[in-house]
Structure 1
Amino acid sequence: MTEHARVVVIGGGNMGAGVLYHLAHMGWTDCVLIEKAELTSGATWHAAGLVSRMVGGQALGSIHDYGVDLYKRIEAETDVGVSWHNCGSLRVATSPDHMDWINHIRDAILARGQDAHIIDADEVARLNPLYDVKAAGVLGAVYTPDDGHVDPSGTCQAMAKGARQMGAKVRRNCRVTATHQLPSGEWHVETEQGTIIAQHVVNAGGYHARQLGHMVGLDLPITTMLHHYVVTDAVPEFKAMAHEIPVTRDDHFCGYVRREQGSALIGLYDKQDPQSVWLDGCPWDSVNALFEPNWDGITPWLENCFERMPALMNRGIKRVVNGGITYTPDGAMMLGPAPGLNNYWLACGATVGIAWGPGAGRALAEWMVEGSANISTRAFDPRRFGLWADADFARRRATEDYTLRQAMPYPQHQRNSCRDIKRSGAYDRTAALGAVFEEAGGWERPRLYGDDPVGWRRTSAFDQAAAECKTVRQQVGVADLSAFAKFRISGPRAEDWLNAVCANRMPRVGRICLTLLLNRKGTIEGEATIARTSPDSFHFVTGAPSERRVWDWLTLHCGVPMDGVTIENITDETGILCLAGPNARKVLSACTSADVSTGGLRWLSCTSLDVAGLPLLAMRLSFTGELAYELHAPNDKLGELWDALWEAGQPHGIGTFGTKALDSLRLEKFYRGGHELTNDASHKDICLERFAATDKAFVGRDAMMARQPRSRVALLMLNGEQTDALLGEAVFLGDQLVGSITSAAYGHCVGKSLAIAFLADVARASGTVLTVSLLGQQVAATVLADAPWDPENARLKA
Structure 2
Amino acid sequence: MADTGTSKLPSQARVVIVGGGIMGCGLAYHLAHEGCSDVVLLEKAELTSGSTWHAAGQITHSTSSFGLGKCVGYNIDLYSGALEAETGQSVTWHGCGSFRLAYSEDEMDWLRHTMSVGRALKFPMELVGPDRIRESHPFYNLDGVLGALHTPDDGHADPSGITQALAIGARQLGVKIIRRCRTTDIKQQPNGEWKVSTELGDITCEHVVNAGGTYARQMGEWSGLQLPMTSMTHHYIVTDTVPEFLELDKELPVIRDDKLVSGYIRMEQKSGLIGIYEKENPNTVWQDFCPWEAENELFEADYDRIMPWLENAMDRMPIFAELGIKREVHGAISHPPDGNPLIGPAPGVKNYWCCCGTQIGIGWGPGLTRELARWIVHGSADISMREFDPRRFGDYADKDWQVIKAKEDYCLRHEIPFPHFNRLEGRPIKPSPLYERLREKGAVYEEVFGHERPRWFARGGLEQRDYYSFKRAAWHDVVAEEMRAVRQTAGIMDISAFTKIEVSGPDAEGSLDRLVANRLPKKVGGIALTQMLNRRGRIEMELTVVRLAEDRFYLVCAAFFEQRLLDHLAQNIDADGVTLRNLSTDWGAMALNGPLSREILQPNTLAPLDNHSFRWLTAQEIEVAGRKLWAFRMSYAGELGWELHVPREDMLAVYDTLCATGEPHGLTDYGSFAMNALRLEKGFKGAGELTNEVTLPEADVMRFVKLDKGDFLGKAETEESAGSEALPWVCVYLEIEPDGIEDGHGGEAVLLDGEAVGATSSVAYGHTVCKILAFAYVKPEAAIPGKTLEVVIMNGTRKARVLDVPAYDPESILPRTDAPVGVAAE
* Smaller-chain TM-score bracket: over 0.9
CA contact (8 A) 2:392 2:449 kept: yes
The letter of the residue matching 1:725 is: G
The letter of the residue matching 2:101 is: V
Question: How many angstroms does 1:786 deviate by?
Answer: 1.5
1:598 aligned to which of 606, 611, 629: 611
2:596 aligned to which of 583, 605, 624: 583
Matched position secondary structure for 2:368: helix
Question: How many angstroms does 1:659 deviate by?
Answer: 0.6
Match of 1:567 in 2: 580
Match of 1:726 in 2: 745
Tell me the matched-pair count: 794
Match of 2:733 in 1: 715
Matched position secondary structure for 1:233: strand
Match of 2:461 in 1: none
Establish whether residue 152 from structure 1 lines up as the match of residue 152 from structure 2.
Answer: no
Provide the C-alpha distance between the structure 2 equivalents of 1:157 and 1:432, rounded to a whole number of angstroms.
57
Provide the C-alpha distance between the structure 2 equivalents of 1:718 and 1:314, rounded to a whole number of angstroms.
54
Moved more, 63-72 or 502-511: 63-72
Matches within 5 A, 1:305-316: 305-316=313-324
Provide the C-alpha distance between the structure 1 equivalents of 2:32 and 2:527, rounded to a whole number of angstroms.
45
Matches within 5 A, 1:220-239: 220-239=227-246
Matches within 5 A, 1:601-750: 601-696=614-709, 697-707=711-721, 708=724, 709-721=727-739, 722-750=741-769
Moved more, 648-657 or 627-636: 648-657
CA contact (8 A) 1:14 1:40 kept: yes
CA contact (8 A) 1:78 1:158 kept: yes
Q: What percent of counterpart residues are identical?
A: 46
Establish whether residue 548 from structure 1 lines up as the match of residue 563 from structure 2.
Answer: yes
Provide the C-alpha distance between the structure 1 equivalents of 2:581 and 2:280, rounded to a whole number of angstroms.
45
CA contact (8 A) 2:541 2:687 kept: no
Matched position secondary structure for 2:195: strand
Provide the C-alpha distance between the structure 1 equivalents of 2:38 and 2:804, rounded to a whole number of angstroms.
51
Question: How many angstroms does 1:735 deviate by?
Answer: 2.0
Question: How many angstroms does 1:243 deviate by?
Answer: 2.4
2:125 aligned to which of 116, 120, 139: 116
Provide the C-alpha distance between the structure 1 equivalents of 2:364 and 2:42, rounded to a whole number of angstroms.
20
Provide the C-alpha distance between the structure 1 equivalents of 2:63 and 2:69, rounded to a whole number of angstroms.
6
Question: How many angstroms does 1:427 deviate by?
Answer: 1.4
Q: C-alpha offsets along residues 636-678 of structure 1, whole Å, 9 cap, x if unaligned?
A: 2111111000011122111111111111111101110111111
Match of 2:481 in 1: 467
CA contact (8 A) 1:520 1:699 kept: yes
Provide the C-alpha distance between the structure 1 equivalents of 2:248 and 2:64, rounded to a whole number of angstroms.
31
Q: Which runs of 5+ in 2 are unaligned?
A: 1-8, 459-463, 818-826
The letter of the residue matching 2:663 is: Q
Matched position secondary structure for 2:698: coil
Establish whether residue 76 from structure 1 lines up as the match of residue 94 from structure 2.
Answer: no
Match of 1:260 in 2: 268
Question: How many angstroms does 1:413 deviate by?
Answer: 1.6
Provide the C-alpha distance between the structure 1 equivalents of 2:331 and 2:65, rounded to a whole number of angstroms.
28
Establish whether residue 187 from structure 1 lines up as the match of residue 194 from structure 2.
Answer: yes
Provide the C-alpha distance between the structure 1 equivalents of 2:320 and 2:635, rounded to a whole number of angstroms.
60
Question: How many angstroms does 1:621 deviate by?
Answer: 0.6
Question: How many angstroms does 1:778 deviate by?
Answer: 1.7
Matched position secondary structure for 2:338: coil
Question: How many angstroms does 1:213 deviate by?
Answer: 0.6
TM-score (normalizing by structure 2): 0.95
Match of 1:526 in 2: 541
2:209 aligned to which of 194, 202, 205: 202
Moved more, 236-245 or 738-747: 236-245
Provide the C-alpha distance between the structure 2 equivalents of 1:711 and 1:237, rounded to a whole number of angstroms.
51
Question: How many angstroms does 1:306 deviate by?
Answer: 1.7
Provide the C-alpha distance between the structure 2 equivalents of 1:90 and 1:425, rounded to a whole number of angstroms.
48
CA contact (8 A) 2:738 2:771 kept: no
Provide the C-alpha distance between the structure 2 equivalents of 1:59 and 1:776, rounded to a whole number of angstroms.
19
Q: C-alpha offsets along residues 12-36 of structure 1, whole Å, 9 cap, x if unaligned?
A: 0000001100111112111110000
Match of 1:775 in 2: 794
Provide the C-alpha distance between the structure 2 equivalents of 1:198 and 1:681, rounded to a whole number of angstroms.
30
Matches within 5 A, 1:34-73: 34-72=42-80, 73=82
Match of 1:175 in 2: 182
Question: How many angstroms does 1:617 deviate by?
Answer: 0.2
CA RMSD of aligned residues (A): 1.1
Q: C-alpha offsets along residues 716-758 of structure 1, whole Å, 9 cap, x if unaligned?
A: 2221422411111111112211111110111001111111111
CA contact (8 A) 2:470 2:742 kept: no
Matches within 5 A, 1:144-543: 144-251=151-258, 252-450=260-458, 451=464, 452-508=466-522, 509-543=524-558
Question: How many angstroms does 1:238 deviate by?
Answer: 2.2
Provide the C-alpha distance between the structure 1 equivalents of 2:492 and 2:25, rounded to a whole number of angstroms.
51
Provide the C-alpha distance between the structure 2 equivalents of 1:771 and 1:140, rounded to a whole number of angstroms.
26
Matched position secondary structure for 1:684: helix
Match of 2:4 in 1: none
The letter of the residue matching 1:501 is: L
Provide the C-alpha distance between the structure 1 equivalents of 2:712 and 2:420, rounded to a whole number of angstroms.
39
CA contact (8 A) 1:725 1:755 kept: no
The letter of the residue matching 1:542 is: C
Question: How many angstroms does 1:516 deviate by?
Answer: 0.4
Question: How many angstroms does 1:465 deviate by?
Answer: 0.2
Provide the C-alpha distance between the structure 1 equivalents of 2:10 and 2:683, rounded to a whole number of angstroms.
57
CA contact (8 A) 1:16 1:357 kept: no
Question: How many angstroms does 1:2 deviate by?
Answer: 6.0
The letter of the residue matching 2:498 is: F
The letter of the residue matching 1:236 is: P
Matched position secondary structure for 1:550: helix
Q: C-alpha offsets along residues 563-600 of structure 1, whole Å, 9 cap, x if unaligned?
A: 32111111111000111000000111011011111111
Match of 1:85 in 2: 94
Q: C-alpha offsets along residues 225-264 of structure 1, whole Å, 9 cap, x if unaligned?
A: 0000000111122233342111110121101011100011
Provide the C-alpha distance between the structure 2 equivalents of 1:622 and 1:436, rounded to a whole number of angstroms.
23
The letter of the residue matching 1:126 is: E
Moved more, 240-249 or 112-121: 240-249
The letter of the residue matching 1:632 is: H
Provide the C-alpha distance between the structure 1 equivalents of 2:117 and 2:663, rounded to a whole number of angstroms.
45
Question: How many angstroms does 1:328 deviate by?
Answer: 0.2
Q: Which runs of 5+ in 1 are unaligned?
A: none
Q: C-alpha offsets along residues 427-470 of structure 1, whole Å, 9 cap, x if unaligned?
A: 12211110000011100000000144111111221100000000
Provide the C-alpha distance between the structure 1 equivalents of 2:435 and 2:61, rounded to a whole number of angstroms.
41
Match of 2:109 in 1: 100
Question: How many angstroms does 1:331 deviate by?
Answer: 0.4
Provide the C-alpha distance between the structure 1 equivalents of 2:131 and 2:785, rounded to a whole number of angstroms.
43
Moved more, 310-319 or 218-227: 310-319
Question: How many angstroms does 1:292 deviate by?
Answer: 0.6
Provide the C-alpha distance between the structure 1 equivalents of 2:617 and 2:809, rounded to a whole number of angstroms.
17
Match of 1:764 in 2: 783
Q: C-alpha offsets along residues 347-390 of structure 1, whole Å, 9 cap, x if unaligned?
A: 00000111222111111110010000011111100000000000
TM-score (normalizing by structure 1): 0.98
Provide the C-alpha distance between the structure 1 equivalents of 2:10 and 2:248, rounded to a whole number of angstroms.
58
The letter of the residue matching 2:777 is: F
Provide the C-alpha distance between the structure 1 equivalents of 2:363 and 2:314, rounded to a whole number of angstroms.
27
